[in-house]
Chain A
Amino acid sequence: MASAPSKLYADDVSLVVVLLDTNPFFWSSSSLSFLQFLSHVLSFLNSILTLNQLNQVVVIATGYNSCDYIFDSSLDLKRSLENGRMPVMCSSLLQKLEEFSFKDEQLSKEEPEGRIKCSLLSGSLSMALCYIQRVFRSGALHPHPRILCLQGSPDGPEQYVAIMNAIFSAQRSVVPIDSCYMGAQNSAFLQQASYITGGVHHKPQNLDGLFQYLMTIFAADLHSRSFLHLPKPVGVDFRASCFCHKNTIDMGYICSVCLSIFCKHHKKCSTCGSVFGQAQSEAASASDKKRKTPET
């Protein structure tokens, strides 16, 4: 007999919220073309939906200036005979994606040049969590949710606080964040996100086989994961961004009241307003830095 009935469906029913990196600056410089990427991801999504009738997929586009829901299988999963060329879900997704890209471009016109070309990961993470919370609260039964970040753009250090907050709230509501990073160097944010929430982080070596990576690693539902070895990254990049200049640092000052991180000494904490004691003399200050993380 089944143990205590939870509010979950059967073991392997999952809700996958996919965060799609649509940062045009990344895709124009990436070795993997957006065309290939889309075709891998779309067939992956289709296979998730095929696995179980109750499975649900939500796609959120993570743009350069904005993010938005572009697909929700619970809304438009009507099988219709529209065209036999590709899964029906794809056409509606692509339509939305195109509209999204126009909107995103509009917004970037007001943007000054010279920003780091990162995508708005913090926004889409929060949207994903909001969606999942809504699922939690509605109805008696819900599938087991997880988030999958398909990211290629580099980390935006200025999003550090927002992303960390999202990560902690995901951990609190037991939502694993899987991440697949396709960019050149690895992403510290995503590593930490997956590490803290108990998800899987992987950086594919061979991007032509992205589909195979997705199927082998990220298609595994949470129930099966308890029986499987999934690739475990060796070591996690725990570095933080300072709150003052948004630099990525591995040594810095920490406010003893609110734990805000600064790359250099301040008179007053910009977050909580605590007044810090007098700085030590210049000679001493070098050694005065408290360690945030062990040296990498």
Chain B
Amino acid sequence: MASRHVTKRAKYKTTIKDPGTPGTLRLTLEKILFVPHNPKSAGKLDVEFRFIKGQKHTKEGSNKPPWLNLTNNQNGSFIFEFENYSDLQYCRDFVGKVLAKSGEVSEKPTVTYPDEQLSAAEMELRIKLLQEDSELQKLHKQFVLSDVLTEAEFWATRKKLLDTEANKKTKQRLGFKSAMISDIRPSTDGRTNKVTFNLTPEIILQIFAEKPAVHRAFLSYVPNKMSEKVFWTKYFRAEYLHSTKNSIAAAAEAAEDEELAVFLKLDDILASEARWKIRRVDPTLDMEADEGDDYTHLPDHGIFRDGSKDMTESQNELYRRTLSQDINRHAAVVLEGRAVDVDLDDTRAVAEALAWSKQESSTKRESDGDTNQERLARVSRMTEIEDLQGPNNLPSAPLCIKDPRDYFDSQQANALRTSGDALGRTEQIKCSLSTQEVYGSLRQSISVIKAMGLKDPIVKPEVAHQVFDALTNSISTTKYHIGKNPHESVLDRLPKKTKDELLHHWTSILELLKHFWASYPITTSYLYTKVNRLKDAISNIYPQLEEIKGSVPSELRHQVSLLVHPMLQALDAAIQHYEADMQKRSTGSVDKPNGYV
């Protein structure tokens, strides 16, 4: 557990209306201690945690103050008001853990399988699962608390339930940061004229992705023409000149250094890409933004490149355009996500991988050329906007293997069925004729009907009436048999208590048998004792089932015994197997050197 105690400021209240005594709340694993600020006031509190039964608290966002209400086992309660919700949450979690722990301890007093060390979180999850599923809780109570199964055994068959929580966290690929590269600020030390840029592999990748021209330059210059270090120095020099708007200096330097000029030119690759994008804009929609949306010209609005807002008006237009281009470009790169998956430290490798993935997308783009035609056709059709079209899912029902309880029904009905349908034997069609003859007679019927037309009348009115009456009759009798609702099952006619008991026995028998059969073949002494335990539990069920049979009124007894019958059969099979196995063990133990005797 993370901490052994918590101390927070809080007000202690005896009732909700009570204004409360300000003081300090200290929670330890054993105790709750409250000391008022004013030593004279009466609110001092010292309670042991084992008296605390549960906790309630107000929700954040509700208009109530952050209250924590601890109830003790005499139905009294302690209310603490915290200063804020985070304090409340902290204390709530702590209390939750302590309560969970103490609850667990009291629930399983002695049998703890030695190799089981559970974290509090796992424990909490189990408790939560039990609380959510009353059927599970019943089973847990019945078997774990009565030592038929150990805690570990019980949960071992329900790993899936325990796993779900962990599975929810899916791994996510790391994307680009949403900060723009223009945010890489040079750090100046104020005294000298030196300007320092901090360059990390992450930033390099981002620069490559957002500025194709730099990327291209890197590929062609490094390492043949200059070293990586020189390259980046030049780049940032250009960037710096650009950002300070020192255009004269920039022009002068560019004249001297052609490599530097590359960085100062407008990115032609970007331009061509933008042109390509514009060509793809769907002309059926006018996406031009409202004039009112553009408020960058207002004071205190907009994004500035480096904190300096003092620009001349003439520059403003160009500046705005490049800025929006930069933002769009950045957004596109961030949305595209990380295309390459290489070690970031090797800049050269990164650059190449990026180039490769670009190439792929550009070949894709060439094939897009044909789609131009299609696009024009689309325009002419004035089709609807894609996102307004319905999902193309076909209706499908979840695959359902029927509720096993339905088998009770069929069971019942099969028992009721009087007309012997001669189940179980496949009757061979008596066929005295040869293949040729039978096909011949089939075709003869076809040609007869072709020549003569359909029989008139198709059915004799008397027969039709007879059939209708018979069907109506059977409908009304089944209605009588199965009750008004056609979906009602046999179970629903039993008294509720009997029904619940039957269902509970059914699930508990399933649980026991699952463990029983899973223990075979017996290879360890542990399994041996487990099987014995299970067998005892199984034999205990017999009298209970008998009791149920006896408890129902006589007219339902037959039905109940029909329902109980398969349970008994399943139990019998297990007992029989157990005995056979024991017998074999006692006689043939010599044959099994590895087996446990």
Chain A stretch 30-87: residues in CB contact (< 8 A) with chain B: 33-36, 38-40, 42-43, 85-87
**B458 CB to nearest A CB, Å:** 5
**B410 CB to nearest A CB, Å:** 5
Contacts of A87 in B (CB 8 A): 454
Contact A212 B435 (CB under 8 A): no
Contacts known (A34-B442, A238-B407); A209 close to B580, Cβ less than 8 A: no
Contact B577 A280 (CB under 8 A): yes
The answer for the CA separation of A208 and B459 in the assembled complex, in Å, is 7
A159 part of interface (Cβ distance < 8 Å): no
Contact B429 A213 (CB under 8 A): no
Partner of A294, one of B411, B424, B453: B411
Chain B stretch 391-449: residues in CB contact (< 8 A) with chain A: 394-400, 402, 407, 409-414, 416-417, 421-424, 426-431, 433, 435-439, 441-443, 445-449
Chain B stretch 534-551: residues in CB contact (< 8 A) with chain A: none
Contacts known (A206-B467, A216-B471); A284 close to B399, Cβ less than 8 A: no
A136 part of interface (Cβ distance < 8 Å): yes
The answer for the CA separation of A39 and B468 in the assembled complex, in Å, is 19
Closest to B416 in A: A234
The answer for the CA separation of A29 and B577 in the assembled complex, in Å, is 48
Contact B426 A232 (CB under 8 A): no
Partner of A212, one of B459, B474, B479, B566: B459
Q: In which size bucket is the chain A interface? A: 35 or more
Contacts known (A29-B431, A35-B448, A104-B439); A287 close to B454, Cβ less than 8 A: no
Partner of A291, one of B414, B454, B474, B566: B566
A186 part of interface (Cβ distance < 8 Å): yes
Partner of A234, one of B397, B400, B413, B581: B413
Q: 17 pairs across A/B with beta carbons < 8 Å? A: A24-B435, A27-B438, A27-B442, A91-B450, A184-B427, A208-B463, A212-B468, A213-B471, A229-B486, A234-B417, A237-B421, A239-B423, A280-B580, A284-B584, A287-B576, A287-B577, A296-B423
**B296 CB to nearest A CB, Å:** 44
**A34 CB to nearest B CB, Å:** 4
Contacts of B447 in A (CB 8 A): 98
**A192 CB to nearest B CB, Å:** 10
**B313 CB to nearest A CB, Å:** 56
Contacts known (A209-B466, A211-B458, A212-B468); A116 close to B448, Cβ less than 8 A: no
Q: B479-517 vs A: 1/0 string, CB under 8 Å?
A: 101100010000000000000000000000000000001
Contacts of B593 in A (CB 8 A): none
Partner of B446, one of A98, A211, A234, A295: A98
Contacts known (A39-B455, A154-B429, A212-B467); A172 close to B397, Cβ less than 8 A: yes
Chain A stretch 193-222: residues in CB contact (< 8 A) with chain B: 195-196, 204-206, 208-213, 216-217
Contact A291 B422 (CB under 8 A): no
Contacts of A231 in B (CB 8 A): 471, 474-475, 478
Contacts known (A168-B399, A281-B584); A185 close to B459, Cβ less than 8 A: no
Q: B95-135 vs A: 1/0 string, CB under 8 Å?
A: 00000000000000000000000000000000000000000
Contact A173 B580 (CB under 8 A): no
Contacts known (A105-B435, A108-B435); A209 close to B459, Cβ less than 8 A: yes
Contact B438 A25 (CB under 8 A): yes
Closest to B451 in A: A85
A101 part of interface (Cβ distance < 8 Å): yes
B569 part of interface (Cβ distance < 8 Å): yes
Q: A100-127 vs B: 1/0 string, CB under 8 Å?
A: 0110110011000000110000000000
**A153 CB to nearest B CB, Å:** 8
B61 part of interface (Cβ distance < 8 Å): no
The answer for the CA separation of A206 and B474 in the assembled complex, in Å, is 14
Contact B474 A105 (CB under 8 A): no
Partner of A185, one of B397, B427, B441: B427
Contacts of B468 in A (CB 8 A): 212, 216
Contacts of B439 in A (CB 8 A): 24, 101, 104-105, 108
* Most B CB within 10 A of own CB, among A33, A39, A108: A39
Contact A39 B458 (CB under 8 A): yes
Contact A206 B414 (CB under 8 A): no
Q: A149-175 vs B: 1/0 string, CB under 8 Å?
A: 000011101000000000010011110
Footprint of A on B, CB under 8 Å?
394-400, 402, 407, 409-414, 416-417, 421-424, 426-431, 433, 435-439, 441-443, 445-450, 453-455, 458-460, 463-464, 466-468, 470-471, 474-475, 478-479, 481-482, 486, 517, 521, 566, 569-570, 572-573, 576-577, 580-581, 584
Partner of A136, one of B394, B397, B438: B394
The answer for the CA separation of A102 and B442 in the assembled complex, in Å, is 10
The answer for the CA separation of A291 and B398 in the assembled complex, in Å, is 26
Contacts of A36 in B (CB 8 A): 455
Contacts of B438 in A (CB 8 A): 24-25, 27-28
The answer for the CA separation of A87 and B453 in the assembled complex, in Å, is 9
**B107 CB to nearest A CB, Å:** 32
Contact B446 A97 (CB under 8 A): yes
**B36 CB to nearest A CB, Å:** 62
Contact A287 B395 (CB under 8 A): no
Contact A209 B463 (CB under 8 A): yes
**A30 CB to nearest B CB, Å:** 9
Contacts of A28 in B (CB 8 A): 431, 433, 437-438, 441-442
Contact B397 A94 (CB under 8 A): no
Contacts of B441 in A (CB 8 A): 24, 27-28, 34
**B242 CB to nearest A CB, Å:** 56
A90 part of interface (Cβ distance < 8 Å): yes
Contacts known (A108-B435, A296-B414); A287 close to B580, Cβ less than 8 A: yes
Contact A206 B466 (CB under 8 A): yes
Contacts known (A171-B397, A232-B478); A117 close to B431, Cβ less than 8 A: yes
The answer for the CA separation of A174 and B460 in the assembled complex, in Å, is 36
The 9 closest A-B pairs by CB, nearest first: A235-B413, A209-B467, A24-B438, A234-B413, A35-B445, A212-B467, A284-B580, A85-B453, A287-B576
The answer for the CA separation of A50 and B73 in the assembled complex, in Å, is 75
Contacts known (A28-B441, A34-B445, A234-B413); A186 close to B486, Cβ less than 8 A: no
Contact B573 A287 (CB under 8 A): yes
Contacts known (A154-B429, A235-B412, A294-B566); A206 close to B449, Cβ less than 8 A: no
* Most B CB within 10 A of own CB, among A85, A136, A217, A296: A296
Contact A281 B429 (CB under 8 A): no
Contacts of B397 in A (CB 8 A): 171-174
Contacts known (A136-B394, A209-B459, A291-B570); A90 close to B435, Cβ less than 8 A: no
Contacts of A236 in B (CB 8 A): 410, 413
Closest to A153 in B: B429
**B449 CB to nearest A CB, Å:** 5
**A35 CB to nearest B CB, Å:** 4
Contacts of A97 in B (CB 8 A): 446
The answer for the CA separation of A117 and B426 in the assembled complex, in Å, is 11
Partner of B396, one of A42, A108, A172, A237: A172
Partner of B453, one of A86, A155, A171: A86
Closest to A198 in B: B397
A277 part of interface (Cβ distance < 8 Å): yes
**A63 CB to nearest B CB, Å:** 10
Contacts known (A40-B458, A185-B427, A211-B459); A293 close to B407, Cβ less than 8 A: yes
**A145 CB to nearest B CB, Å:** 11
Closest to A157 in B: B426
The answer for the CA separation of A154 and B486 in the assembled complex, in Å, is 29
Contacts of A22 in B (CB 8 A): 442
The answer for the CA separation of A284 and B574 in the assembled complex, in Å, is 10
